[in-house]
């Protein structure tokens, strides 16, 4: 979502422009904390080193209309000049963004900046949040706290931005592609996802999913992970959380009834899964619903 804080023309369609919660700029870099509109889509070309962090879970789709919306827990993304980004999102949430000019990156690294130096990163749609996400989150939080404090010590702020830059540089870490070869065909994946949706409340089993494609459970697990970046168990948990969140935001069921309708054993299991994947309790979305009403 590069240039999220720029003019509205960067957005192809949105229900409302992003609300800027915090705004700060220095020569060479700028920081924004924004609240996304309830939904929309974007398509543009990145022109700077862009480091972003979602503070709230949000549903996101990368690419065209045929791609599925997946629940994105709080996580980080990194893009570089020349990256063309397109996708859509659903739901309201907050994000922090730092855009850094190539000249500032060159000054920090002490050598000419090239996009190949940077380890690109996607939000946690098809992966689990990891230590790199936590590091970006902490640095972004420190940046926001210092800016909100009002003192705005330029040296300290530049030190934090420099740390963010250094963290994005390739340091011998292996690439983590979202999708690897050897996965399910599009038709196979669609059949499996449809069955998961139909049987979500009834807890679809691995043998049942593998039998649908007439393959072994071992092959199915390996191919499913190659196609989605998640194990079948992780994917089902994500979908249950998505369904539970949607039911909570509708406000028609109690939390215990929501847990059963989404396929959890009980409210306790649902709460544990929410805390693990989204870092918030289910009641967070119920309170937000009451506040909006």
Q: How many CA atoms lie within 13 A of 95 on its CB side?
A: 28
What tokens were used for 83? Answer: 């990256």
Q: What is the pLDDT of residue 101?
A: 94
Q: What is the pLDDT of residue 172?
A: 41
Q: Are 274 and 57 in contact (CB under 8 A)?
A: no
Long-range contacts of 55-58 (CB under 8 A, 24+ apart): 55/93, 55/94, 55/95, 55/96, 56/92, 56/93, 56/94, 57/91, 57/93, 57/245, 57/277, 57/278, 57/280, 58/89, 58/90, 58/91, 58/93
Per residue in 192-209, pLDDT (tens digit) is 988 888 888 887 788 888
Q: What are phi and psi for residue 51, nearest 5 degrees? A: -115, 125
Rounded CA-CA distance 263/270 in Å is 9
Q: What is the pLDDT of residue 176?
A: 41
Q: Which domains does the chain have, with CATH numbers?
A: 8-168 (2.60.120.10), 186-292 (1.10.10.60)
Q: Write out residues in the chain with pLDDT < 50, as ranges.
A: 1-12, 172-180
Q: What is the pLDDT of residue 201?
A: 85
Q: What is the pLDDT of residue 112?
A: 87
């Amino acid at each position: 979502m590069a240039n999220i804080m720029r003019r509205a023309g960067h957005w192809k369609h949105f229900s409302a422009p992003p609300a800027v919660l915090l705004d700060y700029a220095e020569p060479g870099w700028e920081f924004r904390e924004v609240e996304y509109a309830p939904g929309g889509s974007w398509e543009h070309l990145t022109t700077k080193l862009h480091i972003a962090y979602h503070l709230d879970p949000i549903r996101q789709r990368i690419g065209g209309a045929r791609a599925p919306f997946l629940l994105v827990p709080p996580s980080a993304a990194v893009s570089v000049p020349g990256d063309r980004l397109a996708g859509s999102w659903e739901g309201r949430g907050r994000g922090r963004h730092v855009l850094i000019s190539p000249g500032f990156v060159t000054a920090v690294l002490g050598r000419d900046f090239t996009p190949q130096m940077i380890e690109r990163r996607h939000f946690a749609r098809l992966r689990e949040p990891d230590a790199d996400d936590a590091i970006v989150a902490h640095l972004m939080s420190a940046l926001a706290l210092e800016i909100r404090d009002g003192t705005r010590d330029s040296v300290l702020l530049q030190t934090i931005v420099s740390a963010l830059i250094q963290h994005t540089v390739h340091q011998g870490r292996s690439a983590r592609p979202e999708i690897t070869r050897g996965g399910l065909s599009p038709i196979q994946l669609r059949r499996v996802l449809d069955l998961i949706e139909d049987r979500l409340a009834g807890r679809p089993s691995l043998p049942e999913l593998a039998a649908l494609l007439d393959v072994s459970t071992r092959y199915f697990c390996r191919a499913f992970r190659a196609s989605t970046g998640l194990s079948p168990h992780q994917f089902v948990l994500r979908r249950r959380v998505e369904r539970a969140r949607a039911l909570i935001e509708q406000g028609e069921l109690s939390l215990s009834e929501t847990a059963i309708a989404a396929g959890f054993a009980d409210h306790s299991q649902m709460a544990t899964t929410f805390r693990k994947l989204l870092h918030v309790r289910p009641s967070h979305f119920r309170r937000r619903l009451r506040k909006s009403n």
